[in-house]
Structure 1
Amino acid sequence: MDEQHDPVRRAVMMALAALPLSGTSSASADNDVRQTGSRTLVAYFSRSGNTRVIAGLIQRALGTDLFEIRPATPYPDDYLKTVEQARHESDVDYKPPLEAMISNMTNYDTVFLGFPIWGATTPPVIRSFMDAHDFSGKTLITFITHGGYGLGNSQSVLASHAPKAHLLEGFVMEADQERRTMERVTSWLKNVKVLASEDGVRKPPRSQ
């Protein structure tokens, strides 16, 4: 899609480039829609906070309503446990119950939908959200974060769960702090083990 002929996407891209990140990471304290009277909704799922920041930027730039998608039972705090649970849910096509839903979806003409890529696809909770709401006739614009492996099959998932929506090309950004942190710590620990095993008693050098 030609970005020059998509004023909504162009406005979002300009807003993301111009607005500061500070103060945008706080979502609604409850699970109700943060209402402004707008016909546009920003709905997002975020575990580590990357997608939440983008949602806040879009909401402030365009003056939209805001809704945080949450599963009824939160995912584990431990990153690897969350990865394993999400993989299992995807394998069995499980759609976790939502903590809250939007009762007035008919009020919106445009929905910005944000989420991270998990296991080369949409998180199971996003499938729950899409199945629970009617996107017929709405313009659906995604903003997606991923850990370096691209969008996977997320676009086909969106199309299958919202076949009557007008799906536009969205915003995509690589952002996976947890995975990179885990890889760096694991690499560091390998060096620690080498030092400790050289004579069985040596300890890692103390930082100065």
Structure 2
Amino acid sequence: KAQSRAERIVNAMKHKILIAYFSHTGYTATLAKEIADLTGGSLFQIQPVDDYPEDYRATVDRYKEETAKHLRPAVTGSVRDMDQYDVLFVGFPNWGGDLPYIVYSFLEQYDLAGKRIVPFCTNGGGGIGQSFILLQDACRTARVMKGFACNGRQAVDQTDALREWLSGLGLLKE
């Protein structure tokens, strides 16, 4: 049954939403900010204590080392009172078909039991790879919802697609 506009607004307002994201190039940040505008959610940028290099090759090398050694880079800051949020958007660039390990570091800090986790990612043309499945594995006590993905270079042109996706999840604020 289709919800009326008023029912969708009331439904979206029932949720306390956090949009946590890691963005290396700014593309994922663009999506995160748009999602915050469309949902009324709060933003939290996942930042490593030791920033990733700006040089592409150096970043790939670091990611490969983190992956090979299952490293968990330290995160600066933390979410105050994560318990208040019932919906957690998790945004990241797809790195090698996976989440950047800094995102795992962030997720492992919190008890996510019972939360709705909503993934979104940007990519350089490789799609989502296994990233949404791996996110679901990392958040076993939460309910992972349908995710959103786009090519990073097209992140600025996703308002209509984001609106449709969020409406389908019942999380669009109008």
> Structure 2 length normalisation: TM-score?
0.77
| Unmatched 5+ stretches in structure 2 | 10-14, 155-174
**Counterpart position of 2:111:** 134
Verify the 8 A CA contact 1:145 1:175 in the aligned structure 2. Answer: yes
Cα distance between partner residues in 2 of 1:99 and 1:76: 16
- Aligned in 2, Cα 1:92/1:176: closer, same or farther, shift over 3 Å? farther
Secondary structure at 1:102 match in 2: coil
Cα distance between partner residues in 1 of 2:118 and 2:25: 21
**Counterpart position of 2:166:** none
Cα distance between partner residues in 2 of 1:169 and 1:46: 20
Please say if 1:78 is aligned against 2:55. Answer: yes
**Counterpart position of 1:174:** 151
Percent of aligned pairs with the same amino acid: 34
Structure 1 residue 64: Cα displacement: 0.9
Indicate the structure (1 or 2) with the bigger Cα radius of gyration.
1
Structure 1 residue 170: Cα displacement: 1.3
What count of residue pairs does the alignment treat as equivalent? 145
Residue of 16, 26, 29 corresponding to 1:39:
16
| Unmatched 5+ stretches in structure 1 | 12-37, 178-208
| Correspondence 1:25-174 to 2 at 5 A | 39-174=16-151
Cα distance between partner residues in 2 of 1:120 and 1:62: 27
List structure 1 runs of 4+ shifted beyond 3 angstroms: none
Return the structure number with greater relative CO, CA threshold 8 A, min gap 6.
2
CA RMSD in angstroms, aligned pairs only: 2.1
Secondary structure at 1:113 match in 2: strand
Verify the 8 A CA contact 1:142 1:169 in the aligned structure 2. Answer: yes
Matched AA of 2:112: F
Cα distance between partner residues in 2 of 1:176 and 1:79: 16
Per-residue Cα deviation, 1:137-157 (whole angstroms, up to 9, x for no partner): 001111111111122221232
Secondary structure at 2:38 match in 1: helix
Cα distance between partner residues in 2 of 1:122 and 1:84: 15
> Structure 1 length normalisation: TM-score?
0.65
Verify the 8 A CA contact 1:120 1:153 in the aligned structure 2. Answer: yes
Cα distance between partner residues in 2 of 1:156 and 1:62: 24
Verify the 8 A CA contact 1:44 1:69 in the aligned structure 2. Answer: yes
Cα distance between partner residues in 1 of 2:100 and 2:153: 15
Matched AA of 2:28: T
Structure 1 residue 54: Cα displacement: 0.6
Verify the 8 A CA contact 1:102 1:133 in the aligned structure 2. Answer: no
